[in-house]
Every structure is written in structure tokens, then in C-alpha cells.
Amino acid sequence: MSTFLTATGLVLLAFFWQITLSGIQRKVTARIHRRVGSPWYQNFIDLFKTWSKSSISHGFIYDFGVLMALGGTIATLIFIPAGHIVVFDKLDNFFVITYLLAVGSLGMAMSAVGSGNPWASIGVMRALTQMLAYEIPYIMAVFAIIYANKTASIHAIALAQQGMGILGWNMFRMPLGVIVGFISLMGMLGKKPYDAPIAPAEIASGPLVEYGGKHLGMLMLQHEFATFVEVGLFVNLFLGGGTLLAFLIKYFIVYILATMIASVVARFKIDQLVVFYYKVPLALAFIQTAIVIFTGLG
Amino acid sequence: MVLVYSMVSFFNPYWMEKVIHPAAYNLFYLLSLGGTLGVFYSKDFLTLFIFWELVVWSSMFIIPLGKSRRATVVYYGISTIGSFAMLYALLLLNVKYGTFEISTVINKLSTDPKMATLFFFLIVMAGLTKLGIFPFYTWLPIAHGNAPHTFSPVLSGGLVKMGGFIAFLITAVLPTSKVFANHLQILNNPYENYILMILGAISIIIGTLMAIKQDDAKKLIAYSTVSNSGYILIGLAMVDQTAFAGGVMHVFNHAMASAAMFLAFAAIAYRTGTTKISELGGLIKRMPVTFTVYLIAIISLAGIPPMSGFASKWLIYQGLLRKGNMFIAFAAFFGSVGSFMYVFRPLAGAFLGQLSPKHKDIKEVPFWMQLPMLIISGLTILYGVYPGLMLKYIAKIQTSLNLPAIGVDGTKILTPNGMWDSWTVTLVFTIGFIIATILYFVLPKAKSVDLMDTYTSAEFIHNPDLYHYSSNYYAPFERLYKNHPSVEKFYDAIALRFKELGLLVKTWFFNENPAFTVFWISIVITAIFMWGDKI
């Protein structure tokens, strides 16, 4: 029962925290662009508004994919340790989380292509290609961390870093790894240089082109939860997690930093993006992993 | 393996009419089944070799019943390399030790590392050719793509796994980690095993990149088999607690997944007559059962929980992590993420999207064709949620091979790096799904519209075929490795040289022109004359 309550608490925390931050993110972007911007609670309004509107359905898989996307992402979220809140200790394996997140992506991709709109197919194609680009450097950087800690449990890795003060964070022990991790995080979040899959002006928002009403609202929610998973993973792996408060502060800094970078750069084409990820971050990740494995540093 | 055969045989009655020589097909089908069984139960190497050749021969005659005769030539040519290497190794052993008995041979080899190395590479060659590991992978796409639709699942699910058995025999039954213990160690692996792992890693990358490019679904699945054989080989070559268990488990998982995928496309081909992704589309409305089967198969193949494919891949990752084999791990991760790309292409192109008007009236396949597909999918889910059922046997195998056995506790798999509890994950996933469903039904109901009723940038559309994005799916990505080097070209070059040599011999010795005959006669007479009394 306590597991159930913690899980509910975690989902609610993610809901309020991440949607608030999304609002703040819009505000930050606006200020960088010298605009006024929407209020911080705008995303709550958007979410509930879409849920109350009428919507269309393109058939069974179009609905089912949305459910699979949201359900899979909620399931993934429950495995993320946030500060003290650890729902399943020892089960929060890195690979489990990475691949569970893929359930959500698969659901969304299926639903989008099931709408029959070619823009959606192109967007999904780009998203999958981008996934191949950012996922490999990221996993290689995390490979070094798991090898050094001899465990793949996210919570255990976070705890191991807290013992040695601020210099014990993987951010300082593996400086190349954290660069790779951050660049890959930007790709995961679909932030600006890496937002080819949804590119609104190019392919009409890609996978999201057909959605409206409650479908769109549920996918927005799915996106917020996925963001919580991705940023939470980064904070736990590289910045040492910490207490709930420390976790949220670190989360805030990472997320706003990513937003600020995203608001001043232009978009990569999808093939440029693959080449970039395989040139710079992958090389850095290999160097970092080789240092950890062959010299034992870090 | 037997399971795959028996499942596929449900399909056969429907295909019989389309095959040219039904009787021959049946005979060879049963022969290859018998041969495969024989390989797994044989006690000495000679029996093993005979059954092995039986399978090669019978399948050699089945493949040309499909589309192309050249496929057989390639298949047989590459199989021959492996068979001859194996035969040579066996005869060598017999000369040296005077026996074919597997257990005796293994015992004697254990004390003779030099001989063991030679034997290792010769026998493993046979395994590699069957598994379709680089550089012998070229026969897979050609043979799988051209074989009769019902035989492709058998090729991929049964015959290819025979190679896995040989690799298992040679890496684990011959205890490589002990025999080669004094040899050069690369990242805690003897170099012999590491060479196998490198070959496996190359196969994963090549298989993935080539599969992403394919438009023919059967070729795509064939290349994915190349990539997954790489996982099996890596797992088996590690010979440790976790990755080895993963490798053995992956043999079964991949057999299930690829057989289901091939059967799904056999079903599609049965109704539409094509396996080209770009000619299909929107079939989910007409063939929902086939779609479900395909979906479950790809989730397992891509290694997404809670299907069985995840457990085996996860075990292989754990093993790689434990030993710090970073370059092999890179290939493994690349293949895994890349597999999302290539399994999604048929899903999007053939099942989702716009339904082509020419497929408007097709129906779902008959029940007896659905049944085997459903059984395979059921097994995939069962072993995904309860991997312990299979790992229990693998643990027994490991104990009998003096390896530390994989830790299994009900639905939990315990490894030194952490554990995996498929039941909890499945449960959490179900709860998440239920929350989403409740939310969906609480919110206002959606209006159902047609697939053609979409956002079209305010243009009028009228042709569903043109409005379906399926050809050249990954064009921007494919462009990046358009000019890749390829072994096929190298093999073609060798084949060309061979042909030229044959032509040369033909022109000199078997020419129709009498002048050549006269020339040779005079040469021989001259030679005899010159030799003269010395003979």
C-alpha cells in the first residue's frame, strides 16, 4: 500500500512540478526574445482546455497508440527516483527505464502514423533517426558510470555520489561524460538545435499534425512526463540526486539551462544531426569510457 | 526449433497450391526437420556432420521452389565453406585421437590448447556460416528473401539457430575460458573468444544498417536475423554467468520473434501477393490479427519490456558491462536502438497509413493460418512475463558446464549488476495503461473520421496510394552511408574471377575448334618425345 501511495505521490509531483516548469520555460524563452510571455500557469490552462474540447479519431490504432504512449510513460515515471521518493528500490535499472520509455515513444509513433497523414510519418521517421543519434553516445557515457559503480541501479548510483561531497558527483569525476550527457539530453527533450522531428514550420509539427482535443492533451501530458523522466535521469546520474529539495533545485537549473540554450540557436537538419552526434559526443563518450575502464580514474 | 517447424506446417496446406512441386517440398521439409533434430541430439561429431549436411541439402532443394535459382547457389556456396571446414576438423581429430565421440574429443582437447585453437576456428566456421555472421552473412538476405514464404520462418527460426548450437558447443562445451586461459586476454576474454565477439559486433552493425535500407520486408527481416545472430554469438562467446544465459535465451526469443514476423508477412503475401513495403499500406483495418502478431513480435525483437526479447538482451548488456567490453557494447546498443528503426518501417508502411484501393476487398487469413501466429505471440508474452520458466533450464545447462548459474527467483532475474522483475514492471505498465484508459473515457467522446480526412495544407487529395509515405522511408539517414564498402562486391569479384578461370580452362581444353585439339596432341607428343628414355 505504501508503494502505491509513494507512486501516486511521485506522479502528482511530476505533474505539478514539470507543468509549472514548462510554463516558466515559456516565460524564460520569451524574456530572452524580449517579449512579455505567458504567465507561469499557462500550461495548466492549455492542458485542461484541450481536455474539454471536441476531438476526432482516425480509427482504433490512433486511440490505442495514445493510451499506450501515456500509460507507458506513466509506468516509466514510477521507476525514476526523485530525491527520497524511491518507489521500487533496486528495480530502477537504467536499461529498464531507457527501454520502458521506448514503449511510450512506440505508442505515439504508431498512433501518429495510424492517422494516415504523411507529415506524421516523416516526423516519426525523423524522431527514430534522432533517437539512434542521441541514444548511443548517452548510453556509452552511462556505460562508464555503471562500470565504475558496478551497479545499474539509478538510486544506488545517486547514493554513491552523495558520500563524497560535491566533488563526488559524476559531473566532476567524469567531465567529458557530463558534456555528452547534456548534449544527448537536449536531443532527448527535442530542444531547439535538435527539434527536427516536430519542426512546426517545416512539416506541420510532424507526429502531432492530426491531433486535437483530448488526444493532443494526453500527448502533451505524456511529453511533460517524459521530460521529467529524462531530466530526472540526468540529475540522478550526473548530479548526484540528493534530497527532494536538492533534486528539484538541480532539476530546475538543468532544465532552464537547456531552455536558454534552445532559445538562441537554430535547427539542425536530421542528417547533419546524426553526423554531429556520431562525431563529437560519441568520440567524447568513447574517450571517457576508455579512461574509466583502462585507467580506473573517475 | 521443433516448435517453429510444427507451427509453420500449419501454413503449408495453403501454400501448397502455389509451389511448383508440392510433393518435393513436403519431402524436403520433413527431411530438414529431421536433420535439425538430429543435429541437436547427436552424440558424436560424425553423426552431427551427417545430419548437418542433410539439412543443408534438403533446404538447398527447397529454396529454388521460391523465386530464384541463384539464391540456392549462394546459399550452398557459403554453406560449403562451413561444411568443409568442419569436415576437415573432424578428420583431423579422428587421425589424431581416433574417435568422433564429442565428450571424449572435448576431454582430450582440454589438455591440448594448440590443437583446441585450430579446432575451435575450423568448427566455428560452420557455425558462423549458418548463423550468418560477418563475413558469411550474404546468403541470409538472398536465401530468406527468395525462399518460399513458408520456408523463410524455418530458415530464420530453425536453420540459423543450428549455427547457434555449433557456437554453443564450441565455446561452452569445450570450456574455452579454461582451455584458453593462458592465451592473450583482451578485456578479460581469451583472444579467440574476442575475435568471435568482434565478428558478432560487426554483424550487428551491418545487419542493422542494411535492414534499415530494405524495401522488401522479407529481406529486412533477414538482415535483422544477421544482426540478432550477432547478439547470440556475443552472448555465447562471453561464457559467463549472465551474458551466456542471455545468449542461449536469445536463440529462442529471436526464433519466436523472427518466425512470427515472417509468418505475418507470409500471411500478407498470401492475401496481397507482395512483400514489398512500398506497395502495401493500411492493412490493419483488413488484417487486425496479423497486425497484432507483428506488433508483439517487433516489441520482442526490439527488446522492449515486457516481451521476452528484453530479458535476453538485458542479460547480454549486463555481461558486457561487467567485463567493460565497451566496443562490443557500442555495437550491441547500436543494434538495439537501430532495431526500432527497421522494425517500424514495415509497421508503418504495410500496416498503418492509407489503405490502397487495390487492397480494399482483402480479408484476414483463415483461422488455421492465424493459429500458429497466435501461439507464437502467446509464448513471446509468456516468456517475457515469466522469463524464469526458460532461465531455469538455462541455469541447469550452466551448472552442467561448470559455469555459475544465472540467479532466478520466480519472475525475478538476479545479476551482480542489479535485478529485473518482469512481473512488477508488467503490473506497473498495466496500471499506467489503465489510468490512461480511464482518462480517455472520462473525457468527451471523439468523432470518428476517415483516414483520408486529414490535414492536407488545404489542398484537395484524391489518391490514397500517393498520400502514403512508405517508399524510401529513412532517406536522409540512408544517404549518410550510401557509398559503403561491401563484402558482396568482393564476393562478386571473386565469383567473376572464378568464372573467367573456368572460361580460360574451357577455351584451352574444351574448345570446339579442332585446331586446339591438334595443338594439345602435338604438345603431348612433343613432351613425350622430349622426355624420351628418361621415363
B189: closest CA of chain A, how far (Å): 15
Q: Which of A72, A113, A126 sits opposite B429 (nearest CB)?
A: A72
3-state secondary structure B412-473: EEEECCEEEEHHHHHHHHHHHHHHHHHHHHHCCCCEECCCCCCCCCCCCCCCCCCCCCCCCC
pTM over 0.95? The answer is no
Task: Look at B455 and A135 and tell me if their CB atoms are within 8 Å.
Answer: no
Chain A partners of B482 at a C-beta cutoff of 8 Å? none
In this structure, the answer to whether residues B80 and B6 fall within a common structural domain is: yes
Q: Do A275 and B480 touch (CB under 8 A)?
A: yes
Looking at the structure, tell me whether residues B395 and B498 fall in a common domain.
Answer: no
Q: How far apart are CA B133 and CA A221, in angstroms?
A: 44
Domain for residue B112, yes or no?
Answer: yes
Which of A51, A143, A274 comes nearest B477 by C-beta?
A274
**In terms of domains, do B518 and B422 share one?**
no
Q: Where are the beta strands (DSSP E) in B439-496?
A: 447-448
Residue A137 or residue B476, greater confidence: A137
Q: Are residues B365 and B498 in the same domain?
A: no
Taking the CA of residue A72 and the nearest CA in chain B, the distance in Å comes to 6
Specify if B450 maps to a domain: no
Residues B376 and B518 both lie in one domain? no
**What pLDDT score does B10 carry?**
43
Same structural domain, B92 and B197: yes
Whether B129 and B253 share a structural domain: yes
| pLDDT of A267 above 80 | yes
B310 in contact with chain A, both atoms CB, cutoff 8 A: yes
Nearest chain B residue to A214, by CA = B443
Q: Are A89 and B447 contacting, i.e. CB atoms less than 8 angstroms apart?
A: no
Which residues of chain B have a CB within 8 Å of the CB of A79? 428
**CA nearest B102: which of B157, B39, B58?**
B39
Report how many domains make up chain B: 2
**B344–A124 C-beta distance less than 8 A:** yes
A249-274: average pLDDT: 87
Asked if the structure places residue B477 within a domain, the reply is no
Average pLDDT, chain A: 83
Three-state DSSP at B416 gives: coil
Kindly state whether residue B209 falls inside one of the protein's structural domains.
Answer: yes
The helix (run of H) or strand (run of E) holding residue B419 is strand B418-421
Domain range for B530: 487-534
Contact B315, B243 (CB under 8 A): yes
pLDDT at B7: 44
Contact B88, B156 (CB under 8 A): no
Contact residues for A136 (Cβ-Cβ < 8 A; gap 6+): A277, A278, A282, B330, B333, B334, B337
Whether residues B399 and B521 share a domain: the answer is no
- In the DSSP assignment, the letter for residue B20 is S
Residue type, A212: G
pLDDT at position A298 is 56
Q: Do B421 and A91 touch (CB under 8 A)?
A: yes
Same domain, B422 and B491: no
pLDDT (0 to 100) of residue B184: 64
Query: From residue A107, how far is each of A56, A61, A164, B424 by CA, in Å?
Result: 18, 9, 41, 20
List, for residues A171-203, the tens digit of each pLDDT value: 777 888 888 888 888 888 888 788 888 877 777
Q: What does the pLDDT average to over A279-293?
A: 85
| Claim to verify: residue B496 and residue B349 sit in the same structural domain | no
The grid coordinates listed for A51 are 481536455
pLDDT of residue B14: 41
In this structure, what C-alpha cell is assigned to residue A98? 531507457
Same domain, B414 and B272: yes
Q: Is residue B478 part of a domain?
A: no
HSE at residue B512, side-chain half, CA atoms within 13 A, is 0
Residues of A in contact with B480 (CB under 8 A): 271, 274-275
Q: Are residues B419 and B498 in the same domain?
A: no
User: B472 in a domain, yes or no?
Assistant: no
Residue A265 dihedral angles phi and psi, to the nearest 5°: -115, 165
Residue B80 covered by a domain: yes
ipTM: 0.85
Kind and range of the H or E element at B413?
strand B412-415
Cα–Cα distance measured from residue A276 to residue A296, given in angstroms and rounded to the nearest whole number: 28
In a domain, B239, yes or no: yes
DSSP category for residue A267: P
Comparing CB atoms, the residue among B304, B354, B421 nearest residue A99 is B304
Q: Residue B361 has what DSSP assignment?
A: T
Average pLDDT along chain B, 535 residues, taken 10 residues at a time: 45 41 57 66 74 76 69 78 82 77 72 74 78 75 72 69 72 66 66 80 86 83 85 81 79 80 81 79 80 86 80 82 79 86 84 78 74 78 77 73 68 69 79 82 76 74 76 77 75 82 79 79 85 65
